[in-house]
Amino acid sequence: MTTRPLRRPAAASAVQDAGCHAGPDHLCMPEDARKRAARRLNIARGHLDAIVRMLDDPDAYCVDVLRQIKAVQGALSGAGEVVLRGHLEAHVATASTRGDSVELVEELMEALKYT
CA 14, CA 66: separation in Å to the nearest integer?
A: 37
Q: Is 1 in the site for a copy of itself (CB under 8 A)?
A: no
State the nearest-atom distance from the C-beta of 43 to a copy of itself, in Å: 10
φ, ψ of residue 4 in degrees (nearest 5)? -125, 100
Q: Is 72 in the site for a copy of itself (CB under 8 A)?
A: yes
Q: Is 15 in the site for a copy of itself (CB under 8 A)?
A: no
Q: Is 2 in the site for a copy of itself (CB under 8 A)?
A: no
Residue type (1 letter), 68: Q
Q: Is 80 in the site for a copy of itself (CB under 8 A)?
A: yes
Q: Is 32 in the site for a copy of itself (CB under 8 A)?
A: no
State the nearest-atom distance from the C-beta of 82 to a copy of itself, in Å: 10
**Residue 29 in contact with residue 53, Cβ under 8 Å?**
no
